[in-house]
Amino acid sequence: MAIFIIEESKRCLQCRDPQCQKACPVMTPIPKIIKMFKDNELMEAGEILFENNPMSVVCSHVCNHEAQCSGHCILGKTGSPVRFFDIEKYISDTYLDRMRFTEAEKKGVSVAVIGSGPAGITVAVILARNGYDVTIFERRSMIGGMLTYGIPDFRLPRSLLTKYTRMLEGLGVKIRPNTTIGGALNIERLFKDGYGAVFVGTGVWRPKTLGIRGETLPNVHFGISYLSKPGVYDLGKEIAVIGAGNVAMDVSRVALRHGVERVTMYARGKRIAANAEEVEYARIDGADIEFGMQIVSIDKDGPNFKIARFDEEDNLIGYEDEIVHVHADSTIIAASQGPKDKLLLTTEGLEGSDKGLLVVNEKMMTTVPGVFAAGDVVHGSKTVVHAVKEAKIAAEGIMEYLENRKTEENTEE
Amino acid at 89: K
Indicate which single residue of 25, 54, 81, 201 sits in contact with ligand FAD (rule: CB under 6 A): 201
Number of shown-chain residues binding ligand FAD (CB under 6 A): 40
Nearest-CA neighbor of 108 among 86, 131, 91? 131
- Give dist(CA 403, CA 409) in Å, integer: 10
Closest distance between ligand SF4 and the C-beta of residue 4, in Å?
15
Instruction: Please choose which of ligand FAD, ligand SF4, none residue 384 contacts, taking the beta carbon within 5 to 8 angstroms, the exact cut-off set by kind.
Output: ligand FAD
139 touches ligand FAD (CB under 6 A): yes
Query: Quick one: 36 or 210, whose CB is closer to ligand FAD?
Result: 210
150 touches ligand FAD (CB under 6 A): yes
Site string for ligand SF4, 54-83 (x = CB under 6 A): -------------------xxx------x-
**Cα Rg, the chain, nearest whole Å:** 23
Indicate which single residue of 247, 295, 360, 365 sits in contact with ligand FAD (rule: CB under 6 A): 247
- Give dist(CA 289, CA 244) in Å, integer: 8
5 touches ligand SF4 (CB under 6 A): no
250 touches ligand FAD (CB under 6 A): yes
CA distances to 82, 231, 281 from 23, rounded to whole Å, are 14, 38, 24
358 touches ligand SF4 (CB under 6 A): no
Residue 17, judged by CB atoms within 10 A of its CB (0-12, 13-18, 19+), counts as exposed
Site string for ligand FAD, 284-323 (x = CB under 6 A): ----------------------------------------
Residue 235: alpha-carbon gap to chain centroid: 26
**DSSP 8-state symbol, 75:** G
- Give dist(CA 28, CA 58) in Å, integer: 14
The counts of H helices and E strands in the chain are 17, 15
Closest distance between ligand FAD and the C-beta of residue 190, in Å?
11
The stretch near ligand SF4 (CB under 6 A) out of 13-21, 130-138, 315-323, 360-368 is 13-21
Sign, Cα dihedral of 9, 10, 11, 15: positive
30 touches ligand SF4 (CB under 6 A): yes
Considering only residues 61 through 80, tell me which ones interact with ligand FAD, judged by CB under 6 A. Answer: 62-63
- Give dist(CA 378, CA 126) in Å, integer: 19
C-beta separation of 89 from 58 below 8 A: no
198 touches ligand FAD (CB under 6 A): no
219 touches ligand FAD (CB under 6 A): no
C-beta separation of 143 from 165 below 8 A: yes
5 touches ligand FAD (CB under 6 A): no
CA distances to 73, 220, 294, 317 from 212, rounded to whole Å, are 45, 12, 11, 21
Indicate which single residue of 128, 187, 384, 402 sits in contact with ligand FAD (rule: CB under 6 A): 384
123 touches ligand FAD (CB under 6 A): no
Indicate which single residue of 69, 113, 114, 190 sits in contact with ligand FAD (rule: CB under 6 A): 114
Closest distance between ligand FAD and the C-beta of residue 395, in Å?
13
Query: Quick one: 292 or 339, whose CB is closer to ligand FAD?
Result: 339
The stretch near ligand SF4 (CB under 6 A) out of 6-14, 48-56, 146-154, 246-254 is 6-14
Non-local CB neighbours of 65 within 8 Å, separated by 6+ positions: 71, 83, 84, 85
Residue 391, judged by CB atoms within 10 A of its CB (0-12, 13-18, 19+), counts as buried
- Give dist(CA 80, CA 75) in Å, integer: 6
- Give dist(CA 86, CA 202) in Å, integer: 30
Amino acid at 320: E
Residues that bind ligand FAD (CB under 6 A): 62-63, 114-120, 137-140, 145-147, 150-151, 180-182, 201-203, 205, 224, 227, 246-247, 250, 342-343, 375-377, 382-385, 387
Residues that bind ligand SF4 (CB under 6 A): 12-15, 18-20, 30-31, 73-75, 82, 84
